[in-house]
Amino acid sequence: MKNIQALAGLLAKFFAISLLFVSSVSFANIDVRFVDSMDDSKNTLVLVVNEPGALTGYSKTLNESTEQNFSALLSLNNFTGKFGEVQTLQLIGGFEHVVVVGTQNDLPLTAPELQNLGGKIAATLSSKNKDIEAIILTDNLNAELDDAAAQIAFGYHLRHYSFDKYKASKADGKSSLTFVVNNVSLNQNAYENDLRFLAEGVHFTRDLASEPGMSLYPQAFVERVKEKFKGIDNINIDVLDVRDMEKNNMGALLGVGKGSIHDPRLLVIEYTGAKKGEAPIALAGKGITFDTGGISLKGNDNMWQMKSDMSGAAAVAGTLYAIAQRGEKVNVVGLMPLAENMPAEDAIRPGDVLNTMQGTTIEIMSTDAEGRLILSDAVYYAQQKYKPKMLLNIATLTGSAARALSDEYAALITRDFAFSQQIMQIGEKSGELVWPLPLHPNHFEQIKSDIADIKNSGAGNPGASIGAAVIATFVDEDLPWVHLDIAGVDWLSADIDVAPKGSQGWGVRFMDELVRQNKP
C-alpha cells in the first residue's frame, strides 16, 4: 500500500577594539571581524599556544602582566600545548574567560588542521542559547598560510550548527568573533568572499540530509533548492519530471520511484562561471529521499537514518551553492536524481528488468540496490547533454564501503590507481579523506546477467566495487571519472571538530576543492 504524503544568554558586553583597519561580516548568527590591534577589554580571550614553557607574543605579554600567574595556571592544570588541547581559565589578566588552545605541531599547520582548531574553539565557547563575544589571537600559530585566521573562522562556522527546526526550544545563541591579525585585508577577503559561502553550503547540505522523509520528498527537495539559489548569478535550474524521463527512456530512475506516491525528479543545476561552451565539471549525487529498501525491505534497525540517503544529492547542491556564491571562474553542472524507494503494488520487484537511457538493460536482483540505478541514468544524461571534461558521482551507496573504511575515509573508486592517488590529495587538502578501493575487470564480469545486459547486485563480496562497476557501465571509459561512496562518513554518531553529530555534510569541501583544482 502506498505511503500517503504527510505535511510537513548570558550576554557579554561588547568589547572595544583600537585598530587601524576593521572588517566584518554577519550571517547565521555569527559576526566575524578581522582587526590589526586590540586593547585590554574585559571579555573572552582565545589564545593559541605552541609551547607553554616558552610563551611568545601576546601570551608572553599576558604572562608578564599577571606576574607569571598565567603560566602557573597552565602548569597547575597540566596543560601541555599538544595540538587540540583546550584549557579555560577564569578572571585573569582583566578577561572574564581565557581559552587557551594548544597548537603544538612539528610541521606548519594545514588548512584542515586550522579548521579543526576553529571547530574546537566553537565547541568550547558555544552554547545553544548563550551569546559569545571573543577576541581570538593567532600570533603564536605555526602556519605558513597567510589566511590562517580565516581558516580558523571557517572551522568555527562549520561547527556552529544546530538542526532544531522541529524542537520547541530553538537555538538562538550568537557568536561575535574578533581576530587580531597582521594581514587584515587578506583574511577578510578569504573569509567574506569565499570560505563563508563554503560553510553555508555545508550547512545547507546538513539541513537537507536532516529533514524527515515525510517533508523532503523529490519535489520538496527541488523546491528547497530553487529557493536557496534564488537571485544567484549564472545559475540555470532545470527539472525533469516523469514525462521528461519517459521521453529520455530513463527506465532505471523511473523504476526506483514507481512504488512511491511522490514522483521522481531529475534536478539539474548549471553554473556558468567560465566561457560559454567551456566543458563543465559534472557532479552527480544520489538523491533517495527515503529508502525503505522497496520490495527487498530493510530491517527496522536504524531505518530512520534512511532519510539521509539523499546526502550525495544534498552535497552536490551545497557545493554548487558555494561555487556560485563566490563566483568561481568555472563551469559546473550538478545532477541530482531524486526518488523515494517504497514498497507498493506497482513497485519494481527482484527479477524485473529495467531499460536505461543508454539502452543497457538491468536485471533487478535487489530493490535495495537502488542508488546505482538512479545514478546510471543521471551520469549517462550528463555525458549526452553536457559533454563534461570530468565526472564525479557521490552516493551513500553500500554498507560494504562503510565496513571496509569505517568513518575515517570515504571509498574512492576510479579506473586507474594513478588517478586515485591524485584524488586522494584533494581529500587531504580539503579535510575530507578518501581511500581507494579496486575496480577490476572481473567486477564487470560479475554483474553480467543471464536474462539482461547486467544485474544490479548479488555478485559476491566486493559490494562497494560491484556498485561502482554498475555505474561505470554508463560512463565513457575515456572520461576522467571519480566514484565516491560516502555510506560510512555521511552521518556522525558523535561530534567531530568541525561538525556536531548527525549529518556532517560530507562531500561539499571535497568537491569544492576538486573544482578549484580543475578550473580552466
Show which residues are catalytic.
Answer: 298, 372
Grid cell digits, residue 424: 586522494
257, 339 in Cβ contact below 8 A?
yes
**Nearest one of 276, 36, 318 to 180, comparing CA atoms:** 36
Return the bridge partners of 391, or none.
282, 481
**Nearest one of 174, 160, 173 to 128, comparing CA atoms:** 173
Distance CA 303, CA 92 (A): 50
391, 285 in Cβ contact below 8 A?
no
Distance CA 212, CA 289 (A): 9
Distance CA 141, CA 11 (A): 29
**Nearest one of 376, 392, 381, 400 to 454, comparing CA atoms:** 376
Distance CA 155, CA 119 (A): 5
Distance CA 363, CA 377 (A): 15
**Nearest one of 339, 333, 228 to 274, comparing CA atoms:** 333
Question: Could you tell me whether strands 132-137 and 454-455 are parallel, antiparallel, or unpaired per DSSP bridges?
Answer: unpaired
162-169 long-range contacts, Cβ below 8 Å, gap at least 24?
162/128, 162/500, 163/206, 163/207, 163/210, 163/502, 163/503, 164/128, 165/211, 166/212, 169/129
The upper half-sphere exposure of residue 189, i.e. CA atoms within 13 Å in the direction of its Cβ, equals 4
Burial tier of 339 (Cβ tally within 10 Å: 0-12, 13-18, 19+)? buried
Distance CA 431, CA 498 (A): 10
Grid cell digits, residue 122: 566553537
SS3 (DSSP) at 481:
strand
Distance CA 8, CA 211 (A): 10
DSSP character at residue 308: G
Grid cell digits, residue 305: 537514518
